[in-house]
Amino acid sequence: MITITDKAAERLKELLVSGGQSYVRASVQGGGCSGFQYGLQVEAEQGQNDQVVESNGIKILIDPISASYLKGSTIDFVDNLVGGGFSFTNPNAKGTCGCGSSFEPK
C-alpha cells in the first residue's frame, strides 16, 4: 500500500527511537495549496480503525479515508539546500503544489 525508501526509513527510525514511539501515521487532511495536504507523525498506539502496513521495517498507521488517497504512494526523505524533509510520490495525485506538501486528487 505505501512504500518507505531506505533514506526515509533511516530518518523515521531515528524519530521513533527519540520519541519512544512505535508507529508512524501517514494521513491526508483537507487544506494546502492544492486541496489536500499530507501528514506524517509518530504515535505510540494504533487506533481502532487503523490499517497497519509495514515497509522497510517501519509500521505505518493509516486511517480508512487516508488509505484511499495514499494507496501506492512512496515516502522518501529529501535533503537539499533549502532544508530537507519527507516527500510523497502519490499515483493518486492529479497535481501537486510547488513545495510538494499538498496535492489535488484524481
CA distances from 16 to 1, 11, 49, 75 (A): 21, 9, 22, 16
The three-state secondary structure class of 68 is: helix
The model's pTM is 0.84
Please answer whether residues 40 and 24 qualify as being in contact, where contact means their C-beta atoms are separated by less than 8 angstroms: yes
Note the Cα 89 to chain centre separation in Å.
10
Q: C-alpha cell of 93?
A: 495525485
pLDDT digits (tens, 9 = 90+) for 16-72: 999 899 999 999 987 766 678 889 999 999 999 999 999 999 999 999 999 999 999
Ordered by start, the domain boundaries in the chain are 2-93
Phi, psi of 87 (to 5 degrees): -130, 150
Of 71, 26, 68, the closest CA to residue 47 belongs to 26
What's the CATH fold of domain 2-93?
Hypothetical Protein Aq_1857; Chain: A; (2.60.300)
